[in-house]
Structure 1
Amino acid sequence: MDAVTQLPPAAWRERAGMARLIAALGGGGAARFVGGAVRDTLLALPVQDVDIATRHAPDKVVRMLADVGIRTVPTGIAHGTITALLESGPVEVTTLRHDVSTDGRRATVAFTDDWREDAARRDFTMNALYADPETGAIFDYFDGLADLKTRRVRFIGDPYRRIAEDHLRILRFFRFLARFGDEPEAEGLKACADRANDLMALSRERIADELLKLLVAKEAVRVVTLMIDQGIFRPVLPEITTDGLPRLERVVRCEQMLGEQADAIRRLAALLPVDPRTGEAVAARLKLSKAQRKRLTTALGSESYDSARAMAYRLGRDAAVDRLFLQRGDEAALRAAYAEIADWEMPRLPVSGGALVERGLEKGPEVARTLRAIEDRWISEDFPGEARVAHLADEAVAQALRARSSA
Structure 2
Amino acid sequence: MVERLPAAEWTHREDLSALVDALDPQAQGHCRWVGGVVRDTILGIAAKDIDMATTLLPDEVVARLGGAGIKTVPTGIAHGTVTAVVSGGPVEITTLRRDVSTDGRHATVAFSTDWADDAARRDFTINALYADPRTLEVYDYHTGLGDLATRHLRFIGDARARIREDYLRILRYFRFQARFGSVPADAEAESAVAELAPGLKGLSRERVGWELIALLGLPDPAPTVTRMAELGVLAQVLPEVTTSGLEALAALTAHERNLGVKGTALRRLAALLPADPAMAEQVAPRLRLSIAQRKRLAAAAARDGHCNNPRALAYRIGIAEALDRLLLAGASIKALQDWDIPALPLKGGQIVARGISAGPEVARLLRAVEARWISEGFPDEARVMQMLDEELG
Q: TM-score range by the shorter chain?
A: over 0.9
How has the CA–CA distance of structure 1 residues 243 and 306 changed in structure 2, closer, same or farther, with 3 Å as cutoff?
A: closer
1:363 alignment partner, one of 358, 364, 379:
358
**1:116-141, Cα deviation, whole Å (9 max, x unpaired):** 00111111010000000111111101
How many residues get paired? 389
Secondary structure at the counterpart of residue 235 of structure 1: helix
Percent identity of paired positions between Structure 1 and Structure 2: 54
Structure 1 residue aligned with 2:155 = 155
Worse-matched range after superposition: 340-349 or 297-306: 297-306
Equivalent residues in 2 for 1:6-405 (5 A)?
6-26=4-24, 27=27, 29-183=29-183, 184-302=185-303, 304=306, 306-328=308-330, 334-335=331-332, 338-396=333-391, 398=392
Tell me how large the CA RMSD over aligned residues is.
Answer: 1.5
**TM-score (normalised: structure 1):** 0.92
**1:151-175, Cα deviation, whole Å (9 max, x unpaired):** 0111111111111111110000000
- Does the Cα contact within 8 Å between 1:4 and 1:139 map onto a contact in 2? no
Distance in structure 1 (CA, Å) of the matches to 2:326 and 2:354: 40
Tell me, which stretches of 5 or more residues in structure 2 are unaligned? none
- Does the Cα contact within 8 Å between 1:306 and 1:380 map onto a contact in 2? no
- Does the Cα contact within 8 Å between 1:244 and 1:270 map onto a contact in 2? yes
- Does the Cα contact within 8 Å between 2:273 and 2:280 map onto a contact in 1? yes
Worse-matched range after superposition: 62-71 or 22-31: 22-31
Secondary structure at the counterpart of residue 51 of structure 1: strand
How much has 1:104 moved relative to structure 2?
A: 1.5
- Does the Cα contact within 8 Å between 1:153 and 1:181 map onto a contact in 2? yes
How has the CA–CA distance of structure 1 residues 305 and 244 changed in structure 2, closer, same or farther, with 3 Å as cutoff?
A: closer
How much has 1:395 moved relative to structure 2?
A: 2.8
How much has 1:360 moved relative to structure 2?
A: 2.2
Distance in structure 2 (CA, Å) of the matches to 1:386 and 1:52: 60
- Does the Cα contact within 8 Å between 2:307 and 2:326 map onto a contact in 1? no
How has the CA–CA distance of structure 1 residues 136 and 395 changed in structure 2, closer, same or farther, with 3 Å as cutoff?
A: same
How much has 1:282 moved relative to structure 2?
A: 1.2
Distance in structure 2 (CA, Å) of the matches to 1:30 and 1:305: 60
Distance in structure 1 (CA, Å) of the matches to 2:230 and 2:170: 15
Tell me, which stretches of 5 or more residues in structure 1 are unaligned? 329-333, 400-407
Secondary structure at the counterpart of residue 255 of structure 1: helix
Worse-matched range after superposition: 193-202 or 248-257: 248-257
How much has 1:241 moved relative to structure 2?
A: 2.4
Distance in structure 2 (CA, Å) of the matches to 1:379 and 1:290: 29
How much has 1:245 moved relative to structure 2?
A: 2.2
How much has 1:394 moved relative to structure 2?
A: 2.6
**1:175-223, Cα deviation, whole Å (9 max, x unpaired):** 0000011132111111111111111111111111111111122341111
**TM-score (normalised: structure 2):** 0.96
**1:321-352, Cα deviation, whole Å (9 max, x unpaired):** 11111115xxxxx33xx111011011111111
How much has 1:306 moved relative to structure 2?
A: 4.5
Distance in structure 1 (CA, Å) of the matches to 2:135 and 2:344: 63
